[in-house]
Amino acid sequence: MEEEERQKNGLELIASENFVSPTIRSVCGSVLTHKYAEGYPGKRYYGGCEVVDKIEHEVQEQFKALFQAEYVNVQPHSGSSANLAVYFASLKPGDTILGMDLAHGGHLTHGSSVSISGKWFHAVSYTVDRISHTIDFDDVRAKLAKHRPKILIAGASSYSRIIDFAAFRTLADEFDTLLLVDMAHIAGLVAAGLHPSPVEHAHFVTSTTHKTLRGPRGGIILMGKDFDNPFGVVAQKSGRTKRMSELLDASIIPGIQGGPLLHIIAAKGVCASEAATPAFVQYQHQVCANAQALAEACESKGMMAVSGGTDNHIVLLDLRSQKITGRDAERILDSVGITVNKNMIPYDPNGPLTTSGIRLGTPAVTTRGMKETDMHTIAELISRTLQGDDLDSIRKTVREFASHFPLFLEVSEEVYAK
């Protein structure tokens, strides 16, 4: 397949992509894809669900244990679906939500005007500091005081520093708002104990199961200590009191989805079991070490890392000193087999379709077995490409370099057990 060859022969630096284990791939293609099972374990609209009921219940328990959660819904098809379900369960159209500005590292589903989150709700946004490029909590407080949102959203898609969830919860409590944390990008780091967990602080936590968590493409919703808290966790519906967990379940089915993808849910379970191993913790340490090495190596080549570096798997580069836009950088790097995405930098003078930066991530190359010294090689290849060196020569070098870190048919389970 062309796509398999592209992945094997190139360098995957998209921060939201990873390579799953052979076991996860096989479960995704298993006979579970045949089963329709609208509803939840013990409450299905179809017969023949006794086996998938056991599977889904077990996967729920695995994620509860992994993230020390009291509630989990494993049916969301994506992180975006998970976020929409939280809105659907706790808001009415026109309610105000406050999330990180997309141009400063937020996500489309945190209130962007082109997303349903920005079309159905009155969305306002907070920013990062102009100098440090870290979250401006003074701005968060000011926006909370001015707009009194129903939900405050923490989490990002291109933010490379630790997020202080305790500080967000303090502000949420002060202004009587619900706190939603979208940990899609950092879920693997949270599972490994390398980033503070949001579960003990947030009313709701959503995540994808791919990215750093290295599972199949999909989403989850979690709740922790506020599982039984009357503030925002229960509501009056149809003349009786319903727990927020019931409202969240109903917001997925029949609210925004139909039948769950049982083959993906089972693969999520494999993902949770892999994430509970010492090898996974070791992997996440290497992800972070590689990101720091990549940021330092890129800066040594004159490419500035936004916020001065990284605490996680993301390196956001400001390319203005290289006299090239993010859009052009993405295109030329792709031509030599280095896959990145154009990305806005804070206070970007260019628009979202052009951008002044690119976003790099280390989960996928770390899964292939690359270490810090390899990040220096990658930075050198990126620099040479952007400076206009011989692209044919670089393309051959990338292919040769990638061949030392085999994927798919050549790779064994030991890559995921190291």
Catalytic residues: 36, 38, 182, 208, 211, 217
CA distances from 47 to 21, 58, 257, 308 (A): 32, 19, 19, 56
Please report the sign of the dihedral spanned by the C-alpha atoms of residue 389, residue 391, residue 396, residue 401. Answer: positive
Residue bearing tokens 């290289």:
322
Residue 234 identity:
V
Nearest to 341 by CA among 360, 324, 323: 360
Cα 108 from Cα 101, distance rounded (Å): 9
Answer whether 178's CB lies under 8 Å from 204's CB.
yes
Which amino acid is present at 161? R
Q: Which residues 6+ apart lie within 8 Å of 53 measured at CB?
A: 37, 41, 42, 44
Distance (Å) of CA 258 to CA 81, 355, 392:
12, 37, 48
**What are the residues facing 12 on neighbouring strands?**
339
| CA 220/CA 356 separation, integer angstroms | 33
Question: Of the candidates 145, 102, 93, which has an alpha carbon nearest to the alpha carbon of residue 121?
Answer: 93
Q: Is 314 helix (H, G, I), strand (E, B) or coil?
A: strand
**Structure-token pair, residue 187:** 């879920």
> Alpha carbon 310 to chain centroid distance?
16
Six token digits for residue 279: 């090898």
Torsion sign, CA atoms 414, 4, 184, 287:
positive
For 323, left (φ over 0), alpha (ψ -120 to 50), or beta?
left
